[in-house]
Amino acid sequence: MNVLVLGAGQLARMMALAGAPLDLNVTAFDVTSGNMIHPVTQTILGKRLESGIEHADVITAEFEHISPDVLALCEASGKFFPGENAILIGGDRRKEKNLLDNAGVKNARYHIINTSEDLDTAIKKLGFPMILKCALNGYDGKGQWRLKHQEDVTSTWHEINTFFQRSPRREHQCIIAEEFISFDREVSLIGARNAKGKLEIYPLTENIHHEGILSLSICATENEALQNQAEMMFKAIAEDLNYVGILAIEFFEVNGVLMVNEIAPRVHNSGHWTQQGAEVCQFENHLRAICDLPLGSAKQIRPSAMINMVGNVKISEDIMRLAHVHWYNKSPRPNRKIGHINVCEKTKEQLIETLEAIIPLLDKEQFPVLHEIKIREHLTSGKKNERP
Ligand code: AMP
In angstroms, rounded to a whole number, what is the distance separating the alpha carbons of residues 186 and 5?
29
> What is the distance in A from the centroid of ligand 1 to the CA of 153?
19
In angstroms, rounded to a whole number, what is the distance separating the alpha carbons of residues 187 and 185?
6
Q: Is residue 382 very low, low, confident or very high in pLDDT (cuts 50, 70, 90)? A: low
What's residue 387's pLDDT? 39
| CATH code linked to domain 109-179 | 3.30.1490.20
Instruction: Give CATH superfamily name and number for 185-381.
Output: ATP-grasp fold, B domain (3.30.470.20)
128 within ligand 1 shell (Cβ under 6 A): no
What's residue 89's pLDDT? 97
Strand partners, 59: 4, 80
In angstroms, rounded to a whole number, what is the distance separating the alpha carbons of residues 282 and 297?
10
178 within ligand 1 shell (Cβ under 6 A): yes
Q: What is the mean pLDDT of residues 31-51?
A: 94
Closest CA to 62 of 5, 136, 2, 20: 5
311 within ligand 1 shell (Cβ under 6 A): no
* Percent of the chain at pLDDT exceeding 90: 89
What's residue 139's pLDDT? 67
In angstroms, rounded to a whole number, what is the distance separating the alpha carbons of residues 221 and 362?
24
Q: Is residue 22 very low, low, confident or very high in pLDDT (cuts 50, 70, 90)? A: very high
CB 202 within 8 A of CB 161: no
Closest CA to 360 of 375, 377, 348: 375
In angstroms, rounded to a whole number, what is the distance separating the alpha carbons of residues 192 and 283?
10
Least confident residue range of 311-320, 323-332, 346-355, 374-383: 374-383
What's residue 126's pLDDT? 97
Cα distances from 355 to residues 311, 343, 358, 362, in angstroms, run 21, 7, 5, 11
- What residue spans of 6-79 are helical by DSSP H? 10-19, 49-55, 68-76
Fold of 2-80: Rossmann fold (3.40.50)
Q: Is residue 137 very low, low, confident or very high in pLDDT (cuts 50, 70, 90)? A: confident
> What is the distance in A from the centroid of ligand 1 to the CA of 181?
8
pLDDT exceeds cutoff 70 at 80: yes
> What is the distance in A from the centroid of ligand 1 to the CA of 261?
7
Closest CA to 259 of 183, 178, 154: 183
Angle at 104 between CA 281 and CA 72, to 5 degrees: 60
CB 372 within 8 A of CB 309: no
Q: Which helix (H) or strand (E) holds 29?
A: strand 25-30
What are the domain boundaries of the chain?
A: 2-80, 109-179, 185-381
122 within ligand 1 shell (Cβ under 6 A): no
State the chain's mean pLDDT as an integer: 94
Question: Within a 10 A sphere around the Cβ of 78, how many other Cβ atoms?
Answer: 8
Report strand pairing: 58-61 vs 2-6: parallel
What is the number of the ligand 1 atom nearest to the C-alpha of 108? 19
Q: What one-letter code names the amino acid at 204?
A: L
> What is the distance in A from the centroid of ligand 1 to the CA of 146?
10
In angstroms, rounded to a whole number, what is the distance separating the alpha carbons of residues 290 and 227?
25
pLDDT exceeds cutoff 90 at 119: yes
* Protein residue with its CA nearest to atom 1 in ligand 1: 141
What's residue 278's pLDDT? 98
